[in-house]
Chain A
Amino acid sequence: MNENEKYLLKINNLKTYFYTLDGIVRAVDGVSLTLKPGKTMGLVGESGCGKSVTAHSILRLLPLKTSQIKEGEILFRRRNDKEVIDLAKINPQGKLIRSIRGKEIAIIFQEPMTSLSPVYTVGNQIIEAILLHRQIKPQEAREHAIQMLKSVGLGMVESMIDEYPHRLSGGQRQRVMIAMALSCSPSLLIADEPTTALDVTIQAQIIELLKSLQKQFQMAVLIITHNLGVIAEIADEIAVMYLGRIVESGSLKQVFENPLHPYTIGLLKSVPIIGNQTKKRLAPIPGSVPDPLSVIEGCAFRLRCPAYKQKECPGQEGVAMVEVEPEHYVRCLLYDRDEGVRGNEN
């Protein structure tokens, strides 16, 4: 990795654990990611692999009593370009994180139906976000809010701004969320499963909207999803997560054309293809994601991996990230036997 390239957000070996009555859940267990300014990173994985927790960890939105960032750094380069702060170390309720939330890093969530409070108008909630970070008059804030609503493709904005959320459809609410998130022009937008709860046609619209807004606002996007189709549409780079760890990362082209990790290959093969290959049998990944309370030594995927089952891989030793081709990393023993170049993450 070229150290001179300026990154926007660099996560180093992040470990976020949850402490429950039944045991410790190692939701994020050593994740390293680099987000570049203006680029889109897609974070892919099945439910429960820790992608959402990673996103919430960046903005320190996790419940304070039951969770903890055990280890790791979240280095964020602020807009003034002079300072880089470690978000993992700062006070989760303090002034610093609050000045970053909404202003420099914004997040939109999966469920538009419950993301907005039902007892305040749409306008009230957007204007609140604006006034938090900008010293302008309420009237100007309202104008700005109207502009934002227009830019996300909503119609009849002057009346919608005084509506209550329950009067809007799911797609409309998600657009409002996006408008609210972008109202202070953040340099990073985190989108946590933004289209999962929406109809397919609306999904496409939202993805197009995000793409055009990214160009317009020149911001980086971290999009989290389990939908490979969405990733293919919007991501420049992709990271695949399994059970709290990144198992493969690289550019979109690299990973899609040459998937390396058995999990990635399995995921890509699980997507049914409509066309002349209909006679081919689907090759699903057997089994399901293991209990999050369990601690698995060595390669966590081996229980479902065909290579392990065919005894082609021992799967026991601790596995490190390997750079197979420039910028394309994989965490798999099958690529580690020879003198593969080791990456600087472990």
Chain B
Amino acid sequence: MIDYKGRSEHIKKLYEQQNALDESIAHQMMSSEKIAFATSQWRMMWRKFIRNRIAVIGGTVILLFYLTALFADFVAPYTLKQRMTAYSFLSPQRIYFFAEGRFQPFVYGLKGSRDPKTLMKIYVPDPEKRIPIRFFIHREPYKLMGLFPASTRLFGVEEGIVSLLGTDGQGRDMFSRIIIGSQISLTIGLVGVALSLIIGAFLGVSSGYFGGWVDNLIQRVIEIVRSFPPIPLWMALTAAIPPHWPPLRVYFTITIILSLIGWTWLARQLRGKVLALREEDFIMAARLAGASDGWIIFRHLIPATLSHIIVISTLAMPAMILAESALSFLGLGLRPPLTSWGVLLKQAQNIQVLLLYPWLMIPGFFVAISILAFNFLGDGLRDAADPYTV
């Protein structure tokens, strides 16, 4: 039998000999904590985000859309207003990629006629006539981003027509119009969300932080604004826009109208976050150190909620794009010459025409895809920012 009592006493002595402030112990503890601090919040978010493939796809699609919108005039083979009446109501053309074994994209020339019974226009591809698609071709000049004059376009044809998504009743190429129209559709979202954010952040944070009558008042206002069903409210407000106003003013007014309704959601979200953070110890510590309200709001609360702000802004975009499309579709939003996806869809209102030429619906798919992409992206950002999900 071993002398267990002796061993036991010996171990007790070993503990007492140990200096709690022993360098090595302190070092040991510090080094394990250092590793935790090395990764900043943003890097952790990024790593988590990257793992989410769907969100990354969404983000990539959005990036692609915005880049295309930026270089819209370059990517689009035709301009917004270009009418090729010989080819009106043309269905989307088929592109062939190989000619005699070589990579040479081309389309067939078309012979147009009218069906005697339905009066529908019919186009028959002519196999004899091959029209090669040229890249970086010089066509109608434009101003890149409104500033730099240029005339090179990504692709086009010297004669005939290359219409990837078909044409409308006036022979305008849908693909070009969708690309150029994306500029308005996508930026209304950005500007609208930015405005909503400014109003919503200001009111939401104040409401959550100050509480009391400020909170009550703002909550009441939010309640009243939210009592109105959105579409009828937008309809009523946009109906108030005089028809003779210049397009740009209409654009901005519509954006303002959309953000006037949209801010309530953002405000609510931020208020909730601020309410939760307000009780945290670090806010109390700041206050005890003598920080003013403004300091606390701008130096502590806003950075703490920044990731949340990014998430809810991303998630608010789809609603804006959707709202503008719906309104323009009804004829209440933007009007020509301003072109957005919603305005393009207005043509689809005519059911008879739509049944004959269903490709006029395609702008709606672009709306759907951008909303889908934003939702994936926003969802992925939200998961990445949430510290509690794995």
Direct contact of A and B (CB under 8 A): yes
Q: Which residues of A contact B (CB under 8 A)?
A: 20-22, 258-260, 262, 265-266, 269, 281-284, 286-288, 306-307, 309-310, 312, 324-325, 334-335, 337-338, 340
User: Judging by beta carbons under 8 Å apart, are B4 and A306 in contact?
Assistant: no
User: Judging by beta carbons under 8 Å apart, are B15 and A287 in contact?
Assistant: no
User: Judging by beta carbons under 8 Å apart, are A258 and B12 in contact?
Assistant: no
B224 within 8 A of A: no
Instruction: Give bound CA distance, A262 to B15, whole Å.
Output: 9
The size class of the interface chain B forms with chain A is 20 to 34
A307-B14, A337-B2 given; 5 more Cβ-contact pairs under 8 Å = A21-B390, A284-B20, A312-B14, A324-B4, A325-B4
Best-buried of B1, B7, B25 by chain A (most CB within 10 Å): B7
B18 within 8 A of A: yes
Query: A266-B15, A306-B15 are contacts. A286–B8 as well, Cβ < 8 Å?
Result: no
Instruction: Give bound CA distance, A286 to B5, whole Å.
Output: 24
Some 11 contacts from A to B, beta carbons below 8 A apart, are A20-B390, A258-B4, A259-B8, A260-B8, A265-B11, A281-B16, A283-B15, A283-B16, A287-B29, A312-B14, A335-B7
Contacting A at CB under 8 A, from B213-270, are none
CB distance from B233 to the nearest CB of A (A): 37
Instruction: Give bound CA distance, A49 to B17, whole Å.
Output: 27
Instruction: Give bound CA distance, A301 to B4, whole Å.
Output: 19
B-chain residues with CB within 8 Å of residue A307 when the two chains form the complex:
11, 14
CB distance from A240 to the nearest CB of B (A): 14
Instruction: Give bound CA distance, A169 to B25, whole Å.
Output: 42
User: Judging by beta carbons under 8 Å apart, are A286 and B11 in contact?
Assistant: no
Instruction: Give bound CA distance, A266 to B22, whole Å.
Output: 16
- Which 3 A-B residue pairings sit nearest by Cβ, starting from the closest? A306-B14, A286-B25, A283-B15
Best-buried of B11, B18, B20 by chain A (most CB within 10 Å): B11
B352 within 8 A of A: no
A-chain residues with CB within 8 Å of residue B18 when the two chains form the complex:
283, 286, 306, 309
User: Judging by beta carbons under 8 Å apart, are A338 and B2 in contact?
Assistant: yes
How many A-B contacts at CB < 8 Å in the complex? 64
B-chain residues with CB within 8 Å of residue A260 when the two chains form the complex:
4, 7-8
CB distance from B262 to the nearest CB of A (A): 35
User: Judging by beta carbons under 8 Å apart, are B12 and A269 in contact?
Assistant: yes
User: Judging by beta carbons under 8 Å apart, are A283 and B4 in contact?
Assistant: no
A-chain residues with CB within 8 Å of residue B350 when the two chains form the complex:
none
B28 within 8 A of A: yes
User: Judging by beta carbons under 8 Å apart, are A310 and B4 in contact?
Assistant: no
Instruction: Give bound CA distance, A309 to B17, whole Å.
Output: 12
Query: A284-B20, A338-B2 are contacts. A310–B8 as well, Cβ < 8 Å?
Result: no
Instruction: Give bound CA distance, A262 to B10, whole Å.
Output: 10
Residue of A nearest to B15 (CB): A283
Query: A20-B390, A286-B28, A287-B29 are contacts. A334–B5 as well, Cβ < 8 Å?
Result: no
Query: A20-B390, A283-B20, A334-B11 are contacts. A258–B5 as well, Cβ < 8 Å?
Result: yes
Instruction: Give bound CA distance, A172 to B12, whole Å.
Output: 41
B-chain residues with CB within 8 Å of residue A338 when the two chains form the complex:
1-2
Question: Which of A21, A282, A288, A309 is within 8 Å of B20, CB to CB?
Answer: A282
Instruction: Give bound CA distance, A104 to B5, whole Å.
Output: 40
A-chain residues with CB within 8 Å of residue B20 when the two chains form the complex:
281-284, 286
CB distance from A137 to the nearest CB of B (A): 46
CB distance from B154 to the nearest CB of A (A): 43
A-chain residues with CB within 8 Å of residue B16 when the two chains form the complex:
281, 283
A-chain residues with CB within 8 Å of residue B32 when the two chains form the complex:
288
Instruction: Give bound CA distance, A338 to B6, whole Å.
Output: 14
B-chain residues with CB within 8 Å of residue A21 when the two chains form the complex:
390
B-chain residues with CB within 8 Å of residue A282 when the two chains form the complex:
20
Residue of B nearest to A291 (CB): B32
Residue of A nearest to B20 (CB): A284
Instruction: Give bound CA distance, A283 to B16, whole Å.
Output: 6
A-chain residues with CB within 8 Å of residue B12 when the two chains form the complex:
265, 269
A-chain residues with CB within 8 Å of residue B2 when the two chains form the complex:
324, 335, 337-338, 340
Instruction: Give bound CA distance, A258 to B2, whole Å.
Output: 14
Contact with A along B31-74 (1 / 0, CB 8 A): 01000000000000000000000000000000000000000000
Instruction: Give bound CA distance, A266 to B18, whole Å.
Output: 12
User: Judging by beta carbons under 8 Å apart, are A258 and B8 in contact?
Assistant: yes
Instruction: Give bound CA distance, A282 to B19, whole Å.
Output: 10
B-chain residues with CB within 8 Å of residue A324 when the two chains form the complex:
2, 4
CB distance from A256 to the nearest CB of B (A): 12
Instruction: Give bound CA distance, A306 to B28, whole Å.
Output: 14
User: Judging by beta carbons under 8 Å apart, are B390 and A269 in contact?
Assistant: no
Residue of B nearest to A265 (CB): B11
Residue of B nearest to A262 (CB): B11
A-chain residues with CB within 8 Å of residue B24 when the two chains form the complex:
309
A-chain residues with CB within 8 Å of residue B4 when the two chains form the complex:
258, 260, 324-325, 335
